[in-house]
Structure 1
Amino acid sequence: MFKHGGGMIEQDENIDDKPREKFVPQRTFGTAAERARRNLNAKLSNPLAGFSHSELRKQGRAFAMMHEMGDESDIRAFELGAVLAQSPERFENVAGLMPQEKEVLRHEFEHRWSQPWSMYAVIALCSLSAAVQGMDETVVNGAQIWYKHQFGIAGKEPRDTWLVGLINAAPYLCCAFVGCWLTVPFNHWFGRRGTIFITCCFSAIACLWQGFVNTWWSMFVARFALGFGIGPKSATVPIYAAETAPPAVRGALVMQWQMWTAFGIMLGYAADLIFYQVGDPAGIVGMNWRLMMASAMFPAVMVCCFVFACPESPRWYMSKKQYYRAYQSICTLRHHKIQAARDMYYMHTLLEAENSMKLGQNKLLELITVPRNRRAMLASEIVMFMQQFCGVNVIAYYSSEIFLEANFSPAAALAASFGWGVINWIFAIPAVYAIDTFGRRNLLLTTFPLMALAMFFTGFSFWIPEENHSARTGCIALGTYIFGIVYSPGEGPVPFTYSAEAYPLYVRSYGMALATATTWFFNFVLGVTWPSLRNAFTPQGAFAWYAGWCIVGWWLVLLFMPETKNKTLEELDQVFSVPTRFHAKYGLRQIPYFVKRYALRKDVRPEILYEREDTAPTQDLGFNA
């Protein structure tokens, strides 16, 4: 056994009876700064750990009285809420709770989707905001069939193909370099609801603007402005959902962002199909594509109309020292004030712990300089990069063009695109269950090869002679549909979920800003390059290019992406304390293990890369880290 950084490397008898290196974290090692960060992370994992019930009661009462929370019943709620916040699931052991209050808490755990109407209003708001996002992205899919001819950029010359790509990708250029970075100041100035309102106003105005343009450059400007709506909203809505939801449904609600974005993508295709046959009235050219582009404003207007009917995030009020307003807000989001006091007091202690983090270094730099953070950033950036370079938005933005090139009629191309949107949405629904059952890493290692095969199949189907029209069009559509089926439960929801949990809390907002900017930047790269790539490589080569990236993505996940499923903050510190080269070697050794166990059906033991110090190691059933 020998030391390495924050742990020990020891020899271990493993899957093929050869000695392997196993990483066992040791908390006594590391520099003073590293030990300080570990202590802060441990504090954030449960800031109320170690206090007795009597101490917590005193703290809760003092908090309620200091901030003038209400009458004696409210003060009592905070006394008991502080105790409940330490271990919410152990409410039966808390002295002083009345039978009615215990029944409310018991009902919360047994019927987690039984929530007040205001919580359902928040769920509807977040779902509709996600649908705005998806529709903003895809109405251009069908509209470009017509507007590129009207703007004189429908040719095969490099200028034309690059301009088409630039127009389609303009919102994501804005997101990557401007929009995403406005999230922090917008949330600071306007709150969660205010940011959602402003960004949906941007979306509605930009979508209407797109319906009135008459030149390619004015379309570019309008779509660039759309990025001010897409960027901050994509980061704010999941934050708002997480800060308002009770713990029992928080993960499921945040996860639904991807599902309802997929629903909005489907709505965009539906709008293209609905307005396809609209004729031009006197004095207007291109009425159909103008209605397509402008139609995306309607869900954004709906969000603007009722966003302020929902309560503001209690956590945001608390960050502004408006504690009584935070209490009023959270009381509308819970059935009973005992639940509200519990969740609010936990938010308070977590905020106090975060505010006490003064490590003397820029947190953005700590993403790179701290090894634990750097490994999390590497894994997060891989999944965010691959979310785009798996090629999904080639289909999302250009499916109608792809189907037209396969000799579909315009109506059939739009219908086939709508079919892809339906599949993308339906198969995103099981991800709510699959992501916590099979794990993030296992999902990606399973779906990346299937996405590669689907991309190869789609591209190679263009070699089917045009005389066999039915076989050619059917195979091309089938290839894109298979891709949607395997993408939706895998690389669709995993990147945002993984990025949100991989980073320690004290740098999580910075890590998420980087992750969001990364995915939008490569979204822009994909959108702007596809028309020229398709011309240069032919459809066969262009689809094979992204199939190749799916294979690259599989190797990157295998070597550099640890599993984060069902792990606490403390356990994640241990997972990301494993040096990168040891995890990469471990990933390579999983290939023969998987073949022996699942293909050859041999009884071989799984390798455990690291062990938790306080409990027995969990069983590794396959590709889990």
Structure 2
Amino acid sequence: MSEKIGSVEEPVLSHSENTKHDEVYTTSAAPHKGDLGTQLAQAHEGEIHNPLKHIPRHQLLEDVARFRAEKGLPEDILPYLEKGALLAQNPAGFEHIAELDVTDKEMIRNEVLHRWRHPWAMYYTIVLNSVAAAIQGWDQTASNGANLSFPDALGIPTGGNCGADCAKNSWIVGLVNAMPGITICLFAGWISDPLNNYLGRRGTIWLAAIFSLFAPFGMALSQTWGQLAATRMLLGIGMGLKEVTVPVFSAECSPTNIRGGLVMSWQVWTAFGIFLGTCANLAVGEVGTIGWRLQFGSAFIPAVPLVLGTWFCPESPRWYLKKGKYLQAWNSLVRLRNTKLQAARDLYYIHALLVEEERIILESGLDVHSSMFTRFIELFTIPRVRRATWASGVVMIAQQMCGINIIAYYSSTIFEQSGVSAHTALWASFGFGLINFIFAWPAVFTMDTWGRRALLLFTFPNMFWSLLTAGLCYLIKDEHSRIAAVATFVYIFAAFYSPGEGPVPFMYSAEVFPLSHREIGMSWAVATNNFWGATLSLSLPRLLAIFKPAGTFGFYAGLNLVALLMIFVAVPETKMKSLEELDGVFSVPYRKYARYQFGTVLPWWTRRVFGGKKGEKCPELYHDDNDASDIGENAA
């Protein structure tokens, strides 16, 4: 059995007892030890508590004054901190807080009514992170077009002229394509944790940009497949550092009510990078024997603005708080929020949660500043963190199970096998890139309304039938009909992937871990994703040779149904919760969560869809102390 007091962003450290209770991760507004039974009951009901909720007003204001003095914050921000603490204590009742003036209340209403209205520094940060994502997509797609010609140029042909070496050469081509993923899952993903600790989010992203700037030149100049694999390993270091750090950076800087829309910019602009990569592949696809070199080398272009612009955005305020740099955290929040009141509210609320968390860790007899290895072990031993580890692993594995990288890495090869020329295959890949980018945009506006989980449950069944149909279209005898049908259903598959399983995994993994385990947790998630991505890239040329596209597509279509079941039972919803409040979401043991899904949600959905009870509301698993759903109504 595990215990936690306070809805906080740091990890809870657990101990074991032989009891009849499930393992739980409880939350409370700083209760006394005698309230353990109440805490257990609340945790099993999915309570999400505000640790400031029941503190008397005079005591809260005294705590705020002490906090300002102890942290060396300027005296002139005390009024903002006082109003911010009162607002954090009762966000749903802001209309009745006497200390808030008309302007303050208007600002709070605008958080709902004009939720996309934020200062330029916030959007500049997201734009820079979007550039990093575009690099990622371009890096992935450069090999897509080059796969049509670099094997022959480097002496590892896989076509009809390879004779007895076909099987070996297919594995070599797969290895070259998989090298970035192998590097990320074995090395680059894991060094992100110490680099983030010492360099911060901005420093780590800048270092990643350096690798992304120079590795494409190495790929373009490679003379052997070994050299190409080595330079793609360097490319993988840059890709891995960005994959771990950029979504976390966006999540830690974003306001709660649009965090999903902003963090999923990683996928939107990764899709844009894929599209730009297909454009570059097409532009240089017929320039002669050096076309594949230009396709690889073109990926340096988006790295230039990232290298130059990273240091102009504010550092993550939560990283500053983790380092005890409260003044810097305040200055960062002032740049990232519309008003000083909002900055003060967020600063004090996060601080209160971290203080409570540190107390729990110390009472557990464990080290607040544990080593990277210890934190890795805790990903699987601390109940609250273990649930986040499992959920992030599921969405990351599902991204590879759905089959998207069959197309992202090998679409040109797949289209060529449908009977078209190499240049026409590049045009077909261009269409895939365009569809992938256009259909990623709806998620910006649905991620925080429909929710992460709902998007996944909607898109996976549709990816199943569209991918299966695309595979069956290879059996069409007429060449022109076959080409048109394959392209159509591949595009439909991409259209369903882009707003769902495309943006959710990295965004979801960046938000579910507590602050002390966020870097190592994201490293785990990214390593998981890239391990299976590398496995797919390594094996796909051989699978295509043995099972042909129809069999390969059918295999991955079936995996979509397996992924759908995993998501249904193991991925809780996280929309409209602060990063700290997600402790309460992951307080519920998975046994209880799975019973709720099968015993409550599935029957409710069946009655609603097939029983004509469309107005029936699904019973809630969680209760949130900070529920402010009536703010929009009050504003109206």
Pairwise TM-score range, normalised by the shorter structure: 0.7 to 0.9
> Structure 1 counterpart of 2:286, which letter?
Q
Q: Structure 1 residue 372: deviation in Å?
A: 5.6
Q: Hey, what's the Cα distance between the residues in 2 that align with 1:149 and 1:510?
A: 41
Paired position in structure 2 for 1:51: 55
Q: Once the 2 structures are TM-superposed, how far is the Cα of residue 203 of structure 1 from its aligned partner?
A: 1.0
Return the offset for 1:270. 1.3
Q: 1:423 to 1:586 in 2, by over 3 A?
A: same
Is the 1:60–1:80 contact (alpha carbons within 8 Å) kept by the matching residues of 2? Answer: no
2:283 alignment partner AA: I
Q: 1:481-500 maps to which residues of 2 (within 5 A)?
A: 481-500=491-510
Quick check: 1:410 aligned with 2:422? Answer: yes
Provide the residue aligned with 2:589 in structure 1. 576
**Cα gap change, 1:275 to 1:243, in 2 (>3 Å):** same
Aligned positions, number:
585
2:212 to 203, 210, 218: 203
Counterpart of 2:68 (choices 64, 69, 75) is: 64
- Counterparts in 2 of 1:562-601, with a 5 A limit? 562-564=572-574, 569=582, 572-573=585-586, 575-576=588-589, 578-579=591-592, 582=595, 586=599, 590=602, 597-599=608-610, 601=612
Report the secondary structure of 2:221's partner residue: coil
Relative distance call for 1:229 and 1:32 in structure 2 (3 A) is farther
Instruction: Give the Cα–Cα distance (whole angstroms) in 2 for the partners of residues 298 and 37 of structure 1.
Output: 55
Deviations 1:107-141 (A, max 9, x none): 44432322222222112111111111111111111
Which amino acid in structure 1 is aligned with residue 51 of structure 2?
P
2: CA distance between counterparts of 1:602 and 1:312? 49
Give TM-score scaled by structure 1 length. Answer: 0.83
Match of 1:277 in 2: 286
Helix, strand or coil: the match of 1:178?
helix
SS of residue in 2 equivalent to 1:551: helix
Q: Tell me, yes or no, if the aligned pair for 1:42 and 1:569 is still in contact at 8 Å.
A: no
1:252 aligns with 2:256: no
Q: Any conservation in 1 of the 2:176–2:229 contact (CA below 8 Å)?
A: yes
Contact 2:216–2:298 (Cα < 8 Å) also in 1? yes
Q: Using a 3 Å threshold, how does the CA distance of structure 1 residues 127 and 102 change in structure 2: closer, same or farther?
A: same
Q: Matches of 1:231 and 1:34 in 2, distance apart?
A: 43
2:490 maps to 1:480: yes
Task: Give unpaired runs (5+ residues) of structure 2.
Answer: 1-18, 25-30, 160-165, 367-373, 628-636
Aligned partner of 1:552 among 545, 552, 562: 562
CA contact 2:251–2:511 (8 Å) conserved in 1:
no
Contact 1:586 1:609 in 2 (8 A): no
Per-residue CA distance 1:306-335 (angstroms, 9 max, x = gap): 111112222222333332233233222334
Report the alpha carbon displacement of residue 36 of structure 1 after superposing the two structures with TM. 9.1
Kept after mapping to 2: 8 A contact 1:459/1:540: yes
SS of structure 1 residue aligned to 2:486: helix
Aligned to 1:20: none
Tell me by how many angstroms 1:222 deviates: 0.5
Q: Which residue number in structure 2 is paired with residue 183 of structure 1?
A: 192
Deviations 1:573-616 (A, max 9, x none): 464354477357549x93x7756653465899888596869999
Q: TM-score, normalised by structure 2?
A: 0.82
Q: CA deviation at 1:81?
A: 2.7
Which is further off, 554-563 or 380-389?
Answer: 554-563
Unaligned runs of 5+ residues in structure 1 are 9-26, 280-285, 617-625
Q: Secondary structure at the match of 2:301?
A: helix
1:5 is matched with: 21
- Per the alignment, do residues 318 and 494 of structure 1 end up closer, same or farther by CA in structure 2, a change over 3 Å counting? closer
Tell me the distance in 1 between the aligned counterparts of 2:106 and 2:608: 47
- Aligned residue type for 1:306: G
Structure 2 Cα separation of the partners of residues 597 and 332 of structure 1: 46
Structure with more relative contact order (C-alpha pairs < 8 Å, separation 6 or more): 2
Q: Tell me how far 1:511 sits from its aligned partner.
A: 3.6
Summarize the alignment of residues 388-407 of structure 1 with structure 2, pairs less than 5 Å apart: 388-407=400-419
Q: Which amino acid aligns with 1:57?
A: L
Q: Is the 8 A contact 2:432 2:491 kept in 1?
A: yes
How far 1:264 moved relative to its partner? 1.3
User: SS where residue 348 of structure 2 aligns?
Assistant: helix
Question: Which range moved further: 388-397 or 329-338?
Answer: 329-338
Residue type of the alignment partner of 1:395: I
1:525 partnered with 2:535? yes
Q: 1:439 to 1:80 in 2, by over 3 A?
A: closer
Mapping of residues 135-284 of structure 1, within 5 Å: 135-155=138-158, 157-279=166-288
More off after superposition, 547-556 vs 345-354:
345-354
8 A Cα contact 2:84 2:342, kept in partner: yes
Worse overlay, 515-524 or 550-559: 550-559
Q: Distance in 2 between matches of 1:139 and 1:114?
A: 36
Question: Taking structure 1 as reference, are residues 307 and 601 closer, same or farther at Cα in structure 2, changes over 3 Å only?
Answer: same
CA 1:28 to 1:469, structure 2 compared with 1: closer, same or farther past 3 Å? farther
CA shift, 1:407, in A, is: 1.9
SS state at 1:218 partner: helix
User: Do 1:143 and 1:292's aligned partners in 2 also have CA atoms closer than 8 Å?
Assistant: yes
Rounded Cα–Cα distance in structure 2 between residues aligned with 1:57 and 1:267: 53
Name which of structure 1's ranges 367-376 and 399-408 shifts more when overlaid on structure 2.
Answer: 367-376
% identity of equivalent residues: 40
Alignment partner of 2:394 out of 375, 379, 382: 382
- Please list the CA deviations of residues 331-371 of structure 1 after superposition, one character each: whole Å capped at 9, or x if unmatched: 22334333322222223223323433423565544443455
